[in-house]
Amino acid sequence: ATPTALLVGTGRGAQLGILIKGPQVLESTRKVDTVVLDKTGTVTTGEMSLVDVVAVDGVDTDDLLRLAGGLENASEHPIARAIAAGARERVGDLPVPAGFANEAGLGVRGTVDGHQVVVGRAALAGDLPTELVAARDTAAAEGRTSVVVSWDGVVRGLLVVSDTVKPTSADAIRQLRSLGLTPVLLTGDNEAVAKAVAAEVGITEVIAEVLPAGKVAEVKRLQAEGRVVAMVGDGVNDAAALAQADLGLAMGTGTDVAIEAADLTLVRGDLRVVADAIRLSRRTLGTIR
Ligand code: ADP
Ligand code: MG
């Protein structure tokens, strides 16, 4: 490819809202056959809200909100922000945790009002008692994430948060398919939630319940199958996978770590621009060869 044509492609990319790290990136873009998409903040807006609070029998929902909200107030995770904001709205000022630890991809733990509080996946916070199973399953079928709240070693309730699929995501997936690409949804979230979101946007291949470190391994596994992988993500969790992918695309609305690890940045966070980038690279390189 001539440098001039590639530079023209790079300039056209900027007009489309694509920041390209270097002209050589267009070469790898053209060969991609699989597009792996992170769920939260990439396919969805990532702006979550607390929509349901379910306490086990005998536990006061205000206590549940105060302890879980106080703990999550110390975390930057979108789920944490939704829980803290929702709790503050319902119960007012939240207690400040005395200790706090974040377990990436699992949840948070800490001491609040003298209790050892854990909020997160069942693997971290404890298995759900049967009285909460129906609430979790209903939420999951609607594509809503629920997290378990426990304190002093006993599960006390469930908090349901809702995220919204970006209005452009389904069209973006349709465009990727029409270019002959296979979309794959990759997430740390629960399998049922992931499947519901995937169905909403037209993705059939789903890899769920992946710990942050596991996202790289999943990209490597697809590459070992001979697939040429583009990875689209926004989070700190996605950075290593973005670097491992044949082509890494970061959401301009995402974290700096993801943007630094990526080859391309989609300025507006609109997934349809992934298809624009592929078209642009095919056109730019097609005119040179
Ligand atoms: P994603 O891959 O969708 O960006 P993460 O890897 O960040 O998701 O998180 C995976 C799962 O871990 C979440 O769906 C949630 O169940 C749990 N989790 C992570 N952080 C928190 C938190 N601060 N509070 C509660 N749950 C959390
Ligand atoms: Mg994300």
Residue 58 domain boundaries: 49-162
Q: 190, 145 in Cβ contact below 8 A? A: yes
Say yes or no: 169 and 282 in one domain: yes
Say yes or no: 190 and 53 in one domain: no
Q: Give the residue, 203 or 279, on which the prediction is more confident.
A: 203
Say yes or no: 96 and 206 in one domain: no
Mean pLDDT of the chain: 93
Q: Which residues line ligand 1 (CB under 6 A)?
A: 38-40, 72, 75, 77, 79-80, 105-108, 119-121, 145, 147, 187-189, 212, 235, 237
Task: Name the domain boundary from 137, 162, 187.
Answer: 162
Ligand 1 atom closest to residue 146's alpha carbon, by position in its atom list: 16
Ligand 1 atom closest to residue 215's alpha carbon, by position in its atom list: 2
- pLDDT tens readout for residues 220-240: 999 999 999 999 999 888 999
Q: In CATH, what number is assigned to the domain containing residue 268?
A: 3.40.50.1000
Say yes or no: 105 and 65 in one domain: yes
Q: In CATH, what number is assigned to the domain containing residue 139?
A: 3.40.1110.10
184 pLDDT above the threshold of 80: yes
Say yes or no: 171 and 38 in one domain: yes
User: How much is the average pLDDT of 248-256?
Assistant: 92
Task: Name the domain boundary from 130, 162, 194.
Answer: 162
Say yes or no: 65 and 119 in one domain: yes
Say yes or no: 127 and 179 in one domain: no
Task: Name the domain boundary from 142, 162, 182.
Answer: 162
284 pLDDT above the threshold of 90: no
Instruction: Kindly indicate the confidence band of residue 88, based on its pLDDT and cuts at 50, 70 and 90.
Output: very high
Instruction: Kindly indicate the confidence band of residue 188, based on its pLDDT and cuts at 50, 70 and 90.
Output: very high
8 pLDDT above the threshold of 70: no
pLDDT at 7: 64
Q: How much of the chain, in percent, has pLDDT values that exceed 70?
A: 96
Say how many Å lie between the CA of residue 108 and the centre of ligand 1: 9
User: How much is the average pLDDT of 172-185?
Assistant: 97
Say yes or no: 200 and 275 in one domain: yes
The total number of residues written for the chain in this structure: 289
CA 10 to CA 1: how far, in whole Å? 13
Say yes or no: 171 and 269 in one domain: yes
Q: In total, how many domains does the chain have?
A: 2
Say yes or no: 32 and 173 in one domain: yes
Say yes or no: 170 and 41 in one domain: yes
User: How much is the average pLDDT of 196-203?
Assistant: 97
Say yes or no: 169 and 281 in one domain: yes
